[in-house]
Amino acid sequence: MSNHAEQDRINHVNRQWGAGPGQARDAWHRQEILLREADRVRALASLLPVTVGTDLSDVHVIDIGCGHGSFLRQLIDWGASPACLAGADVYPDRLEHARQRTAHGVRWHLGTLDAFPDNSADLVSAHTVFSALLEDELRRDTADEMWRVLRPGGWAMIFDVRYGTPGNRNLRKVTEVELLRFWPTEKRHYRTLILAPPLARTLTRLPHLVPDMLSCVVPLLRTHFFYMAQKEPA
């Protein structure tokens, strides 16, 4: 499949999701979504200090597939300088949404990473980007581009799904073995999180401790992961 055909497929999937039940199911106020977001933020807050550090004010970040900019806004809340942040996406409406709701100074780029120079970022992130890419070649090219723009000693970060979804041919799981092939580096972190959404929805009326304990006791029920890999220092 060509890059153009693959992008057309992704565009079609996103339009269907935006007009279908998926958007309502992921509404911000739903209890399981709030718990999922809290899990993600906790994991992120534990990984960043041991990778890029606790002081984010001078950390240069590029977020690919940045969507509405929520990850970059989270970094700003934690002390990152907007002037050090950049978001790239192929959807102009999402970039406009991000621009309107994010502190002035963030750089927004319509397109891929080709506009960014080599060795220009301390952290390059991709949130649920790779699972939307079904072709091995496109995944490899994206991983290579992330590594290219990363400075020596910087970190690449992926947040994505570790299982496929039955009946959803437009989503493909991302395995740890695959990530190791992308970036065969010694310093890396792999952390699973988020209780399986169907189960989390079932447990919404129970105390928060119940899904937390279940996720802790049965790690196989965690459907997502964070992976961070460090580019070898110069």
Q: What is the band of 211 on the pLDDT scale with cuts at 50, 70, 90?
A: confident
Q: By the 8 A CB rule, do 195 and 221 touch?
A: yes
Close Cβ partners of 9 (under 8 Å, ≥ 6 residues apart): 1, 134, 170
Could you write out the DSSP letters of every residue in 162-180?
SS--TT-TT-----HHHHH
Assigned token pair, 89: 């996406």
| Dist. CA 26–CA 35, nearest whole Å | 12
The per-residue pLDDT for range 81-118, each reduced to its tens digit, is: 999 999 999 999 999 999 999 999 999 999 999 999 99
Question: Which amino acid does the sequence have at 234?
Answer: A
| Dist. CA 80–CA 103, nearest whole Å | 11
| Dist. CA 7–CA 112, nearest whole Å | 12
The per-residue pLDDT for range 139-148, each reduced to its tens digit, is: 999 999 999 9
Nearest to 192 by CA among 175, 209, 208: 175
The per-residue pLDDT for range 128-178, each reduced to its tens digit, is: 999 999 999 999 999 999 999 999 999 999 999 999 888 788 999 999 999
Residue 167 CB: number of other CB atoms within 10 A?
A: 6
Close Cβ partners of 81 (under 8 Å, ≥ 6 residues apart): 56, 57, 58, 105
pTM over the 0.75 mark: yes
Indicate the CATH number of 3-230 among 3.40.50.150, 1.20.1260.10, 1.10.8.100, 3.40.47.10: 3.40.50.150
- Angle among Cα 217, 218, 222 to the nearest 5 degrees reads 120
- Enumerate the β-bridge partners of residue 108: 87
Assigned token pair, 218: 């049965």
| Dist. CA 123–CA 128, nearest whole Å | 16
User: What integer pLDDT is reported at residue 9 of this predicted model?
Assistant: 45
User: What integer pLDDT is reported at residue 14 of this predicted model?
Assistant: 56
pLDDT over 90 at 57, yes or no: yes
Task: Report domain extents, the chain.
Answer: 3-230
pLDDT over 70 at 16, yes or no: no
Residues of the chain above pLDDT 70, percent? 89
- Enumerate the β-bridge partners of residue 56: none
Q: What is the band of 51 on the pLDDT scale with cuts at 50, 70, 90?
A: very high
Q: What are the two backbone dihedrals, phi and then psi, of residue 51, each rounded to the nearest 5 degrees?
A: -120, -75
The residue written with tokens 């002081």 in the block is 55
Residue 166 CB: number of other CB atoms within 10 A?
A: 5
Question: Which amino acid does the sequence have at 67?
Answer: G
The per-residue pLDDT for range 191-207, each reduced to its tens digit, is: 999 999 888 888 888 88
